[in-house]
Amino acid sequence: MAVRKIPIAHKATQRQQRMLGISSLLLLGISLYCADLDMKQIAAGMERLPAIGRQLAQLSFTNGGELLRELVTSIVVAFLSVILGVVAALFLAFLVAANTTPNRLFGRVLNAVFVIIRTIPTTIWVLLAVASMGFGPMAGVLGLMFPTVSYLIRTFASQIEEAGGETIEAIRSVGGTWWHVIAKGLLPTLLTAFMATTAFRFEISVAESVILGMVGAGGIGSLLQGYISYYQFADLSLGILMVFFTMFLLEMGTVQIRKRMGRQN
């Protein structure tokens, strides 16, 4: 005897899920067609993989000194861009934050400018800097500064808006000036939060600075780029290992800083 099955699904949800499934499949099909993937190329690349893996497994220390020097350059580039960025952002954030801006409209216009700067990828900024100043660390510092400053401003400003209210009221109520509010009220209150943000940004900047060497910003990235172009995989693997350990140590360090700074709040 045939038993009629009792439906259990919620009709509208079921319909939505079906629509989602169909449109995903459709998009996948279109993407595959547009990307023009060549199966033969994939197969050939697969065949080469073991050979590349074998070459990468060999470490060569002949260029260790040079790699180390350039790694330091990468870190220095990141460090300089963050330090200069913090100096600029510390001032500008107070002009942007809604509760400290001397003029609402001015604050909003300034904020819009930094939103535009943020939406342009770091790589573009570095390429622009390279185009105007030539290859080298200076272009890296300048190119990294734009996104760094705008990132710091956004984060600092929201920290000011979040934590500032009561302190601002207090200093204003005693007849303090705008500078008093900033220097005597907000900076002491927010210093550790700012430091934690800065440490986090430094970590991101080092990662970016390593990559940006590949587009001409100097540092270890330009060496790695060269090794790949000339199939010097043994040198490349040493470079990758060095970058890996640097990033690993850096993250451990910044996590500690952020934890300590956070706890004091």
Partner 1 sequence: MEPILTIQGLKKQYSAGTWGLNGIELTVQPGEFIAVIGPSGAGKSTLLRCMNRLIEPTEGSVTFLGEDVVHANKRQLRSIRARMGMIFQHYNLVYRSSVLENVLHGRLGYIGSLAGMLGRYPEADKEEAIALLQKVGLENEVYKRADELSGGQKQRVGVCRALAQKPSLILADEPIASLDPKSSKTVMDAIHTNCREQEIACLVNLHQVDYAKAYATRIVGIKAGRVVFDGPVEQLTSDITQYLYEGQEHEMFHKAAI
Q: Is 62 helix (H, G, I), strand (E, B) or coil?
A: coil
- Alpha-carbon separation of residue 203 from 10, 60, 251, 260 (angstroms): 47, 27, 7, 17
Report if residue 263 touches partner 1, rule: CB under 8 A. no
Among 171, 206, 220, 236, binds partner 1 (CB under 8 A): 171
Q: Does the footprint of partner 1 cover residue 183 (CB under 8 A)? A: yes
Q: How far is the CB of 190 from partner 1 (least distance, A)?
A: 9
**Which phi and psi (to 5°) does residue 24 adopt?**
-65, -45
Whichever of 192 and 225 has its CB closer to partner 1, that residue is 192
Q: Should residue 179 be labelled a site residue for partner 1 when binding is judged by CB under 8 A? A: yes
Give the CA angle between residues 134, 214, 149 to the nearest 5°: 70
Does position 136 interact with partner 1 (CB under 8 A)? The reply is: no
Stretch of 48-56, 71-79, 173-181, 214-222 lying at the interface with partner 1 (CB under 8 A): 173-181
By CB under 8 A, residue 184 contacts partner 1 = yes
Q: Is 188 in the site for partner 1 (CB under 8 A)?
A: yes
* Residue 166 near residue 220, CB atoms below 8 Å: no
CB atoms within 10 A of CB 2: 4
Give the residue, chosen from 38, 66, 162, 169, that forms a contact with partner 1 under the rule CB under 8 A: 169
Using CB under 8 A as the binding rule, whether residue 180 contacts partner 1 is answered as yes
Binders of partner 1 among residues 190 to 229 (CB under 8 A) are 191-192
List the one residue from 64, 136, 176, 226 that touches partner 1 (CB under 8 A): 176
Among 166, 229, 252, 263, binds partner 1 (CB under 8 A): 166
In one-letter notation, the amino acid at residue 49 is L
Interface with partner 1 (CB under 8 A), residue from 99, 101, 159, 189: 189
50 counts as binding partner 1 under rule CB under 8 A: no
Helix segments in the chain, DSSP class H: 11-35, 39-57, 64-96, 104-119, 122-133, 137-163, 165-173, 178-180, 187-212, 220-229, 233-263
* 14 vs 20: CA distance, rounded Å: 10
CA nearest to 260, candidates 203, 210, 211, 191: 191
By CB under 8 A, name the binding residues for partner 1. 166-167, 169-180, 183-185, 188-189, 191-192
